[in-house]
Chain A
């Protein structure tokens, strides 16, 4: 079945710098890769997603890239701001036990230093 690994577990960057979080997946048939942001005590929010028929998607300061050959996808945040501090989760759709399931990474705590 699908397995998703996420790195790093904690990332500290200076305000204004860029942040990159990387995830690898195991099932080459996976075709949907969402990213979620969870602020302390709040719900996870879908911030961007990508399907396997494209290699990159951008939305203002955030972008996601997908390398199907290497089976990894990354979240890029540019010009980081204090409000970007949160835990970020990646996920990938896998086919397990005759059903599609979203398999989650363990999360990355992003700290933006002022």
Chain B
């Protein structure tokens, strides 16, 4: 069965960077884009960007341009999200997700809590 398993919770200081991983299994990793979505406590879902594991192409939400990087390691079927220059407003649960536009094959990771605190 398809699974996206994310790395554990992180606590970072303001100004630092965080790198979250998302290991895929149960399907051909290079066949689907990986999206990253975050959710602050009590808030809605916010799309951060996508990456195509096959081509390496990426697309980032404008508000994260310049401080976000999405990468993959196809040899271990793992996607990575790196966010830099963290502030308290980046405290949220970060999800990786497979979100095909025209099918029901949507899968989400379990989420990774990132807390930014001095």
Q: Are A and B physically bound partners?
A: no
Name A residues whose Cβ lies closer than 8 Å to a Cβ of B: none
